[in-house]
Amino acid sequence: MSTTTLSSPMSTDQINAFVAAWYRALDFHLPIEEVYPYLADEGLNIQFPDGDIRDFASFKVWYDRVTNLFFDENHNVVSVDANVSGDTAVLDIVVAWQASWWEPPAAKSKRTSMNATQRWTVRTSNKNPYGLEIVTYNATVKPFEYAPGFAQL
């Protein structure tokens, strides 16, 4: 008895590199023009706790707000579980996020530390070096798990 393994257009290494690059872009507040290639031009559906995003214009509003609010950000990928089907994949991601922000006129900034469970749908793309793009992104699959003693959003 022989088995045949069908090769997938996406590899685990490719997916992991793409996820890491996305969070690196967020951590370093890359210019918006460098972030757009990670996102689908059509069919984009992002769900964040502070609202839904369906296009580049609404993403830019969100991105400008959060990159001017949060600093000292660190996204550390805890796990990526990928279910690949042809040229798409559903990713269940757990990311540990730490960030600081300051609310004037407070004497000190606040710091949060949490695990966020997210679900993305990605598909193959030629828009970036990783060969993938985000089509759907749900940042609120589960409630955030805050570390004790840290600020909550």
End-to-end Cα distance, the chain: 56
Distance CA 78, CA 54 (A): 27
According to DSSP, residue 42 is labeled: S
The pLDDT tens digits for 39-92 are 999 999 999 999 999 999 999 999 999 999 999 999 999 999 999 999 999 999
User: Would you say residue 12 has pLDDT above 80?
Assistant: yes
CA-to-CA distance for 103 and 108, rounded, in angstroms?
8
Domain ranges, ordered by start, for the chain: 12-96+119-140
pLDDT bracket for residue 128 (50, 70, 90): very high
Q: What is the pLDDT of residue 114?
A: 98
**Model-wide pTM > 0.85:** yes
Position 5 pLDDT exceeds 60: no
**Cis peptide bond prior to 49, omega within 30° of 0:** no
* Confidence at residue 9, expressed as pLDDT on a 0 to 100 scale: 73
The CATH number of the domain covering residues in 12-96+119-140 = 3.10.450.50
Q: How do residues 102-120 score in pLDDT, each as one tens digit? A: 999 999 999 999 999 999 9
d(CA 133, CA 127): 8
Kindly write down the DSSP assignment for every residue of 90-114, as one continuous string: EEEEEEEEEEEE--TT-SS-EEEEE
Q: What tokens appear for 58 in the block? A: 């609404």
User: Mapping DSSP to helix (H, G, I), strand (E, B) and coil, where does residue 125 land?
Assistant: coil
- What is the structure's pLDDT at 78? 98
Q: Are 120 and 91 in contact (CB under 8 A)?
A: yes
Best CA proximity match to 113, nearest among 101, 95, 93, 99: 99
Q: Which residues make beta-bridge pairs with 98?
A: 74, 113
CA-based Rg of the chain, rounded to a whole angstrom? 17
